[in-house]
Amino acid sequence: MLRIATNMPNDDMQYRLRRQEEALARTQAQIAGQSRLQQLRIDPLAASHTVRYDSYLARLERFEKNTLYAVDHLDQTDSYLQHANDVLQRIREIAVQGANGVYTQEDMQYMATEINELLKEIVATANIRGADGAQIFSGDKGLTEPFRIVEGPVNGGGEPMIVRVEYRGAGASRRTEISDGSYIDLDISGGEAFWAENMQIFSSVDASDYRVTQSGAIFIDGVEINLSPGDTVGTIIAKINDSPAPVKAYLDVSSRGINLQGTNPHLIRVEDALGSTVMQDLGIIRATADASAPNWNPNARVAGGSAFDMIIDLRDALFRGDYNHVGSRGLTGLDQALNNIETRITEIGSRSERAHFAWKKVNAEIPQITEGLDRENGINMATAAVDLSMMDFAYKATLQTAARIIPTTLLDFLR
């Protein structure tokens, strides 16, 4: 005969009530957190999918912010380059007038004065700060003014004027990730945007018998080129030419020195890696604590000027009344500066277009991943509300039934 203790119905009823309370609390937590997976044991497979979806969604949201910043930054850079291009076009119009040879010396000085003011405007544009407070054309040295003005007397100018503009910024090495493993360059340095001629650096040091003594590296336009002990100047030249840097090297047949030449208009940047002195030994750069350009060896011959050099040369020729120089060297240099800045505008526009498409792709992915995340972890609020109401009703009904089936006796209070 099966014996039933007097406390068994009470224990069983309490067990069932706790189960109902647990289900009720779980549903309440799901509704409050708007998440079906309050604990991993509820659905381990869905939980693993949720973690992956959530991680990927966080990356997509980061990519979205990166692409939006890239679009804004590149569009802002493009607008300033367009402005500089417009100013250069105006300078060219003046130069064409000054090259006619029909104007008086006084008229040409008036032209030179206007060009001097336009030169100040271009320098101000090159030193402009962006919306985030960083210099637009300083590369990754965003807090450094990229161009330093040197003033001095100019024949016919009357007052001190700009005689030289030096680039003090860095290379355009900032970039941002716009998708997994895919990056886009954010900046264009002033040494690229505001240049005119292909730069050349001629060393005066005989490098015929030069050998690298220890492992090290050199940087040309930010590209690292590794060197090994025993490398000759021929090997160094070959490594430079094989690198993606927009610079070609060769050995001068007369001086036997190494020469560097840019493959497009830009300021060539040359650095020795920490502990290396190869470029110093070869007479290209000098030892200096200041990494800002120019850091050329005083004995090296440097050719290839910036857009500012072209404008200054043109202005000074107008002050002299030398219309032949204005029509030849002056216009040629200005056209080179215009061609380069138009090329850079095209380059920035292409990056901006790519950033736009990357933003569209990310924004198409975000809803898809969000839908997958909701499918694995989401909760139907209407169904959950109905379930919660039914469980609450059942729980209260159970309590009422238990109170009738298991009445409280004096023994319950004595135990």
pLDDT in tens, 68-117: 999 999 999 999 999 999 999 999 999 999 998 888 989 999 999 999 99
* 8 Å CB contact between 64 and 366: yes
Name the one residue in this structure whose structure tokens are 């003014």.
145
| Residue 245 DSSP class | S
Measured CA to CA in angstroms, residue 137 lies from 144, 185, 247, 266, 333 at distances of: 10, 13, 21, 13, 22
Structure tokens at 1: 């005969």
CA distances from 295 to 214, 249, 257 (A): 23, 18, 18
If we measure between CA atoms, which residue out of 49, 83, 123 comes closest to residue 311? 123
**Residue 185 neighbours by CB under 8 Å, 6+ apart:** 172, 174, 175, 351
Please tell me the predicted confidence (pLDDT) of residue 107.
92
- For β-strands 216-220 and 223-227, DSSP reports them as antiparallel
Cβ neighbours of 389 (radius 10 Å): 11
* Closest alpha carbon to 170 in 134, 139, 144, 192: 139
CA–CA distance, 5 with 15 (Å, rounded to integer): 16
Give me the pLDDT at residue 2, please. Answer: 53
Helix locations, 34-131, DSSP H: 44-98, 105-126
Q: What is the pTM of this model?
A: 0.78
- In the predicted model, residues of the chain with pLDDT beneath 70 are 1-17, 20-51, 53, 172, 288-294, 372-388, 391-395, 398-399, 402-415
Hey, what domains does the chain have and what are their CATH numbers? Answer: 53-196+305-365 (1.20.1330.10), 200-303 (3.30.70)
- The alpha carbon torsion through 317, 169, 359, 78 (nearest 10 deg) reads -10
Distance between CA atoms of residues 30 and 172, nearest Å: 50
Edge-first strand listing for the sheet containing 301-303: 247-251, 258-262, 200-202, 301-303
